Structure 1
Amino acid sequence: MSTTQSLFTLSPRVEKLRKVLEDFVEYECIPAEPLYHKQIGQGENRWKVVPPVIEQLKLRAKELGLWNLFLPNYYPESPGLTNLEYAVLCELMGRSTVAPEACNCGAPDTGNMEVFAKYGTAEQKAKWLVPLMDGRIRSAFAMTEPAVASSDATNIETSIVRDGDSYVVNGRKWWISGAGDPRCAVYLVMGKSDPHNKSPHKQQSVIIVPADAPGVRVIRPMQVYGYDDAPHGHVEMVFENVRVPASNMVLGEGRGFEIIQGRLGPGRLHHCMRAVGAAQRAVDLHVLRLTDTNRKTFGKILAQHGAAADALAQSRLEVEQGRLLVLKAADMVDRVGAKNAMTAIALAKVYVPSMTLRVVERAIQAYGAKGVSQDTPLAYMYATGRTLRIADGPDEVHLMQIAKAELRRADALRARDDKQRALAAAKL
């Protein structure tokens, strides 16, 4: 179980939400996971059928007041929580593969809803944000491309060309999460509207493309270690002469980087919040395995072997470290904004996915062959955790950002060092 509640005082409302959500995740969402995967089905039906159990869980989450908790309190559409308060709750959702969607707090919808809430016009909000927040549709964010190094988004080549009262979109995208879902009704597409602008960060725009627009074509689902995540999916897709109204431009031409930074800052942190929850669940499974009295080696249960117990202790240490990084970053976003909390977010984004992999790996090792099978959630947790070291910017990009922030302190540190030397010399 999470120990977050002991780190700071929660308001009575958030404490109540935490208790209700914990029960919902543990006793309704986690038990529903096997049925969810069974209902997905086989073959092409995997991309056509939404598991009925998830819709039942969504109704239950609404009844319990666990709906749209992610949207921060500075938006009029928000349920009123801070990022720090949501971090406590989001960690609990991360314990289950279905809980985030059940609470309408799953990626990529949370990031897309925040884009509409922060940058959308009244018309765009009415058409897309309202049904997304109601859970009637889903969405995708189309940025990454197969032909370029998309970790540097200035490389993106998809074209967005003005033509009278319309824009025409052409390009190929891949790893577009959520685009396989039959409920996916809208894409936020990033591309170049002004490729000759002297500033590489003003060449890009984000535009709204309805999923049923002529010229939108899904090529194939991508797999992560053999998992296709149907019906959600991570697809390769083509936009071929897709024409949309000029009113579908988000914020304005050349504002793409501003939008993705506003979207990815909180979104990266949400991934980390959920990953801490997954890591904590792995620790819990690890404890159960080590204390299973039916499984003994050399006359002892696993917990009585020093090396096995040490591995569990190491996992506990690392989960606590990751949780604190996430909570600090969430608190900074609340106090100084996502832009000024970029380094704190980057620290969490680098550390937490790698930490989760190490924790899950230790639990897998304790379970032996069962750990890599379909009989525990650990293998799937490892696959999704590994993806997070790449999604929303690879580790290397965030490490560069962290290093730059550190190096910017050099002049101040040198001035302090010089002052210390001068004071020491004066005392001699």
Structure 2
Amino acid sequence: MKAEIMGIGTELLMGELTDTNSSWIASRLPALGIELQWVSIIGDDLPRLTEAFKQGMERSDIIFTTGGLGPTQDDLTREAIAAAFGETPIIQQEVVEDLERYFAARGGPMPQHNIKQANLIPSARFVPNRNGTAPGWWAERDGKIIICMPGPPGENQSMWEEQVEPQLAGLVEDEVTITRNIKTMGMSEGAVDEIVSEFFGVENPYLGIYSKADGIHLRVIARAKDTTTAHNMIAPVEKAIHERLGEYVWGYDDDTPEQAAGKSLMERGLSVAVMEMCTGGALANSITDNPNSVSYFKGGNVAYDGAALRSCGVPGEVMEKHGVVSQETANAMAEAVRRQLNADVGIAVTGVPGPGEFEGKPLGLAYICVSNGEKIREMEMRLPPRRVTIKRRVPNQALIELRRLVEETG
């Protein structure tokens, strides 16, 4: 079954927003046995959108759209599908009433412009949206399907998981595609490639290697008649990867560093606190991206010079002897914040985020320490001299080191 994705909105074409929905949906299609062949971005222009839908129905079995379902004049996804199908939208009174209840629950009347979200053509049905005012559409014509979802990722993803994916699962019966994403940190892409090189170049199961902000990912993709056979094809490749790279593997599939670290902490009833010198609070922000972090995150300090670090309990003599950017200072920072906030584990990061050298040390140099008072994990990183890279990769590495220390100490 061939598919395409359309990201709809002039704001995407202007670079005002990034289309993250298309890549997210694309990652879910292989497991359903749906082959993605095209991804496009289309502005809020009715003739262009209409033509895009007509062309899409000629070349694809399913079209997924994101965006253009709002209440404003430039939200034109519904109108374009109606034009492509040659059908007239009709307001559905029960949906109008649902919208009125939605706004009443939030203390106000429904704006009249929202009525357009209750429009429906005969060849379509609504897809419920529990997180917003814009219901989706599921439209079918001549064996082709168009599935329309809202643009906000929170609405888009919940609609996909709760409504769209379960219905798609029954459409494809001849083949399934299963993926397994194995995530590593601590080795270069070239080194990982060399260790598992014998598995590359095989069509099924296919092995791909990708460099990400949280390490090197190895994705195994298998196609088979059923899920059991596909899983059995992946198993020996995954086993070999783990035997060779086990100490560097920190997660799988949708795992994130903050989720993996948080899970390890919660399983053991441990708490953590952080002190940051080069990441501007990015480490604390990553930790608190996990809703469960309230159960294990004590808090953190962000300090950008020696005086601030002293006020947080870091001994001045350590910084005077080794410098603010040093492994010794990172170690002292981790222990200081652990004691100060009465946490089981302290994490510290210090480094040179730019714009230039600091203490004669190069931009991109960073040090990490994770301490539980008895054992520490420490690391020096030398990163590309870009602030955004430092603020992404240092917190990811710190959280992976946190997980490793917690797992090692039980």
Sort the TM-score into its range (normalised by shorter chain): under 0.3
* Structure with more relative contact order (C-alpha pairs < 8 Å, separation 6 or more): 1
Q: TM-score, normalization: structure 2?
A: 0.24
Give the TM-score of the pair, scaled to structure 1. Answer: 0.23
Structure with bigger gyration radius: 2
